[in-house]
Amino acid sequence: MKIQHHGAVNGVTGSCHQLHIDKNNSILIDCGLFQGDENSDKKDIETSLAINFDISTVRALIITHCHIDHVGRIPYLLAAGFKGPIYATKATAALLPLVIEDALKVGVTRNKSIIKACLKLLKAQLVPLEYKSWQALELDTACSARNSVCPEPLKGNPVKAKIKLQIAGHILGSAYVEVELSNSPDFIKGKHRIVFSGDLGAPYTPLLPAPKSPYRADTLVIESTYGDKNHQHRKDRTKQLQNIIEKAVIDNGVVLIPAFSIGRTQELLYELEKIIHRQTNSIMWQNIDIIVDSPMAAKFTEQYNNFKDLWDAEAKREMKSGRHPLSFEQLYTVDSHKEHIQTIEYLAKSREFSKRKPAIVIAASGMCSGGRIVNYLKAFLNDKTTDILFVGYQAIGTLGRDIQKYGNKSNKAGYVFIDGKRLIIKAGVHTISGYSAHADQNGLINFVKRMRYKPQHIKIVHGDEEAKAILANKYQELLPNAKIEIAK
Ligand SMILES: [Zn+2]
Ligand SMILES: [Zn+2]
């Protein structure tokens, strides 16, 4: 048994791990795209997209969740000839074709027949699984690895493998993966459990339940995005959101919230509905327009509504009491590009006549590195009645990070370049840090601490150098006899 990493080792993107079960059999966990600066590290776009490893022994692909940095290389895997099953939870299986279609359109091709062909393959190979139930994997025990010369036959009984998906609480459908290998004399008591964390969610995430630790892990491959930090103010972030919006709309300016269409947008809607529900005496809150300007977000919100059984207890209670946390009265969804332009014009014009209703616009992308939010920024960034509210991590080199950095200077206005044009930031700039969808250091430690049988071997992936190193020390303190390794 051996684990190889084809991504998420020098940073957080490009997740793709290969578990070699024996000489003839392996499985992949995730097949994600490299993004941002981690992409520019790769020599050229070709190498960053390519499946540059032998896939002849790969019997199955298991998807932890459908963020693009965990699924974006699937079209290339299919193009490389992978024909095995793609296992994912039911919700991930429902979201995945939408994500892949969008990724192909944005990054690869507008050719409809190529997109259609790729989606057809994907859907044919997708196998939706229930959470918490074992699925046996079909391995090649007769040694007929198609694309390679048959190695010597294995001695003894063939190894058996099965997988189970568990709630990860990161985004809708997200899972961590338990793999159990059995029947091999190499393992203590003949069994070995490997757990791949995927991305783990944090407690108090709106809408979704927190992850529970597995009963047993012999080997653990774990993310470390926040291995060096603990989240602050998670419990009072709703109040913070309310306060910032209340101050922002006093001058009737628009509030712009850049947010990724999957996950963050739905969390925000859930929080805003909660505020509106509580503020029955506030004319402002009862009148405010909440505009989601993203056709993708609308499709994802629909799936969040389809999978209400995956919501946490609080969200389910609200629904039972007759509320609709993700589809309430003051919510408007902008779909076509024409409507998008009209909405910007409407908001700009009503400003001139100062008869605008307060409005919050939620649009992608979450780091302003493209998407419809950019047009809103072009129209409203140099207006002092505007407020921009960041609720997610802004990576270095993105427009979002620049606005965060150069905006908000009380004495002189900073500026950014959008499409080559210099724009003065007159808008107010705010950041709320309590919305992270990742477990923090305590969460990552508790994930291990709460296992009944703890790992003898931990491989740390999916984090910056500092985060990985600090988390490794913490795990070593917790498990002095275990092998703690930063994956390479
Ligand atoms: Zn993720
Ligand atoms: Zn991730």
- How many angstroms separate the alpha carbon of residue 37 from the centre of ligand 2? 15
Q: Ligand 2 mean position to 170 CA, how many Å?
A: 9
Contact call for residues 482 and 475 (beta carbons, < 8 A):
yes
Ligand 2 mean position, distance from CA 393 (Å): 13
* Ligand 2 mean position, distance from CA 460 (Å): 13
Instruction: Give the distance (Å) from ligand 1 centre to CA of residue 151.
Output: 37
Same domain, 151 and 172: yes
- Cα 368 to ligand 1 centre (Å): 18
**Centroid of ligand 2 to alpha carbon of 437 (angstroms):** 10
Final residue belonging to a domain, choices 431, 452, 473: 431
Structural domain harbouring 444: 2-229+437-486
Contact 6, 69 (CB under 8 A): no
Per-residue model confidence (pLDDT) at position 258? 96
pLDDT at 44: 53
> What is the pLDDT, as a whole number, of residue 235?
77
Same domain, 195 and 334: no
CA 179–ligand 2 middle distance (angstroms): 20
Distance 11 CA to ligand 2 centre (A): 10
- pLDDT at position 354 is 64
Residue 397 pLDDT: 81
Looking at the structure, do residues 49 and 70 belong to the same domain, yes or no?
A: yes
Ligand 1 centroid to 155 CA: how many Å?
40
pTM higher than 0.85: yes
Q: How far is the CA of 2 from the centre of ligand 1 (A)?
A: 24
Same domain, 111 and 80: yes
Compute, in angstroms, the gap from residue 309 CA to the centroid of ligand 1: 21
Regarding whether 449 and 412 lie in a shared domain, the answer is no
First-to-last alpha carbon distance for the chain, in angstroms, is 17
Q: Give the total number of structural domains in the chain.
A: 2
Q: Which helix (H) or strand (E) holds 247?
A: helix 237-248
Q: Please tell me the predicted confidence (pLDDT) of residue 150.
A: 53
User: Which of 390, 411, 431 lies at the terminal end of a domain, its last residue?
Assistant: 431
Ligand 1 centroid to Cα of residue 148, in Å, is: 34
**How many angstroms separate the CA atoms of 264 and 392, rounded?**
8
Helix (H) or strand (E) holding 466: helix 465-478
Per-residue CA distances from 301 to 188, 210, 343, 432 (Å): 46, 20, 20, 22
| 211 & 263 share domain | no
> Do residues 335 and 321 share a domain?
yes
CATH of the domain at 272: 3.40.50.10890
- pLDDT tens sequence for the chain (488 residues): 899 999 999 888 899 999 999 888 999 999 999 876 666 555 455 556 778 899 999 999 999 999 989 999 999 999 999 999 999 999 999 999 999 998 898 778 888 999 999 999 999 999 999 999 999 999 987 755 444 455 555 556 778 999 999 999 999 999 999 999 998 766 667 789 999 999 999 988 899 999 999 999 999 999 999 999 998 877 789 999 999 999 998 888 899 999 989 999 999 999 999 999 999 999 999 999 999 999 899 999 999 999 999 999 999 999 999 999 898 889 999 999 999 999 999 998 876 666 667 899 999 988 998 889 999 999 999 999 999 999 988 877 889 999 999 987 665 679 999 999 999 999 999 999 888 889 999 999 999 999 999 999 999 999 999 999 999 999 999 999 999 999 99
Q: Among 431, 450, 470, give the residue marking a domain's end.
A: 431
Nearest-10 Cα torsion for 342, 344, 348, 350:
50
Contact 131, 166 (CB under 8 A): yes
Tens of pLDDT, residue by residue over 269-323, are 999 999 999 999 999 999 999 999 998 999 999 999 999 999 999 999 999 999 9
Measure 65 CA to ligand 1 centroid, in angstroms.
7
Per-residue tokens: 290: 């909440």
In the reported structure, the alpha carbon of residue 200 is separated from the centroid of ligand 2 by a whole-number distance in angstroms of 9
Note whether 114 and 39 are same-domain residues: yes
Ligand 1 center to 70 CA (angstroms): 7
Same domain, 185 and 301: no
Cα 199 to averaged position of ligand 2 atoms, centre (Å): 5
What pLDDT score was predicted for residue 188? 67
Contact criterion met (CB below 8 Å) for 357 and 250: no
Q: Kindly state whether residues 218 and 247 are assigned to the same domain.
A: no
Separation of 381 CA from ligand 1 center, angstroms?
Answer: 29
Nearest-angstrom CA–CA distance, 130 and 410: 53
Asked if residue 253 and residue 221 are part of one domain, the reply reads no
Closest CA to 226 of 466, 488, 479: 466
Which pLDDT tens digit goes with each residue over 217-229?
999 999 999 999 9
Domain CATH for 29: 3.60.15.10
**Is 210 found in the same domain as 128?**
yes
Q: What pLDDT is attached to residue 190?
A: 78
- For ligand 2, the distance from its centroid to the CA atom of residue 13, given in whole angstroms, is 6
Q: What is the pLDDT of residue 145?
A: 46
